[in-house]
């Protein structure tokens, strides 16, 4: 099963690119962030025509997440349990391939947190604390669990082109990185790092300052696996070439493949 995550930065504005990538990548399951539309406005027909089941948790203009699967989708959860949130940032479901063990997939768009310190940063850290509680609960189920999305956290200096330039940014502050470590230390595996230890593998390049041609990127999009899923990990990667497409999102897809 190939599972992918992508902050598409408006699914309607970049529909052609998203559909092209979906056809090329042949992902069995995909999670989108920043779909930037309400549920009824999501271009469901185009994805259903490709054989995908679609579940969304949308919001007008901002945020919004979606799960697409070639397998049946069950037990859908919209919104991060235990956290009252007006923003559409979390969707979770059980992906149930016929004849195979189910995989629970959580797709998230973690708050940016800037400017920090301030209310937005407090919101980010509170959201991460609630995510930790949810993941701890899900791990007790001992399922194949995939927690993926735009985490808006740079884990280490190896994941940023210039650590000093990001030192005061909410994505790289010590408290943000510590909260991500706390989540991982519940027993999760970073799929990309498990398959590729080479530093400076990025998933985001800003639109400003020529970041893409200069390769001034950061890695903030992650796929984290429970032990039961990590045992099935075959490969993982970052489709960085997509950033060079016309009218590209500032993020690129990240994916992993699990054996049946």
Long-range pairs, 82-87, Cβ under 8 A, ≥24: 82/130, 82/133, 82/134, 83/126, 83/127, 83/130, 85/127, 87/59, 87/62, 87/63, 87/111
What are the structural domain ranges in the chain?
2-258
Residue 113: per-residue pLDDT? 98
- pLDDT at residue 260 is higher than 90: no
The pLDDT confidence band at residue 241, using thresholds 50, 70 and 90, is: very high
What tens digit of pLDDT does each residue of 202-224 get?
999 999 999 999 999 999 999 99
User: In this structure, how many other beta carbons lie within 10 angstroms of the beta carbon of residue 209?
Assistant: 9
Question: How far apart are the C-alpha atoms of 11 and 203, rounded to whole Å?
Answer: 18
157 pLDDT above the threshold of 90: yes
How far are the Cα atoms of 13, 21, 93, 209 from residue 245, in angstroms, in the given order? 14, 10, 31, 18
| Contact in structure between 159 and 181 (CB atoms under 8 Å) | no
pLDDT digits (tens, 9 = 90+) for 167-209: 999 999 999 999 999 999 999 999 999 999 999 999 999 999 9
The domain 2-258 is classified under which CATH number: 3.30.230.10, 3.30.160.20, 3.10.20.600, 3.60.10.10? Answer: 3.60.10.10
Q: What is the pLDDT of residues 55-95, one digit of tens each?
A: 999 999 999 999 999 999 999 999 999 999 999 999 999 99
Residue 84: helix, strand or coil by DSSP?
coil
Predicted TM-score (pTM) of the model is 0.98
Q: SS3 helix, strand, coil % of the chain, rounded to 5?
A: 30, 25, 45
pLDDT score recorded for residue 16: 97
Question: What percent of the chain has pLDDT above 70?
Answer: 100
CA distance 5 to 254: 5
Q: What contacts 258, CB < 8 A, 6 or more positions away?
A: 1, 3, 103, 144, 146, 229, 232, 233, 234
């Amino acid at each position: 099963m190939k599972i992918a995550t992508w902050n598409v930065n408006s699914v309607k504005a970049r529909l052609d690119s998203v559909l092209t990538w979906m056809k090329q990548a042949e992902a069995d399951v995909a999670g989108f962030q920043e779909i930037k539309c309400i549920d009824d406005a999501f271009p469901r027909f185009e994805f259903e025509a490709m054989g995908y089941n679609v579940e969304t948790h949308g919001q007008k203009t901002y945020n919004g997440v979606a799960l697409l699967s070639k397998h049946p989708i069950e037990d859908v959860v919209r919104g991060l349990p235990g956290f009252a949130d007006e923003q559409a940032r979390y969707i979770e479901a059980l992906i149930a391939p016929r004849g195979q063990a189910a995989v629970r997939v959580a797709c998230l768009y973690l708050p940016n947190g800037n400017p920090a310190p301030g209310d937005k940063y407090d919101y980010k850290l509170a959201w991460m604390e609630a995510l930790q509680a949810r993941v701890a609960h899900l791990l007790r189920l001992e399922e194949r669990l995939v927690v993926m999305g735009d985490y808006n956290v740079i884990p280490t200096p190896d994941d940023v082109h210039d650590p000093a330039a990001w030192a005061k940014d909410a994505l790289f502050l010590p408290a943000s990185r510590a909260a991500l470590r706390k989540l991982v230390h519940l027993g999760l595996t970073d799929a990309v790092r498990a398959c590729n230890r080479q530093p400076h593998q990025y998933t985001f390049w800003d639109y400003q300052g020529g970041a893409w041609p200069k390769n001034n990127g950061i890695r903030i999009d992650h796929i984290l696996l429970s032990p039961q899923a990590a045992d099935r990990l075959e490969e993982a990667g970052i489709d960085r070439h997509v950033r060079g497409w016309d009218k590209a999102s500032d993020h690129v897809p990240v994916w992993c493949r699990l054996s049946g």
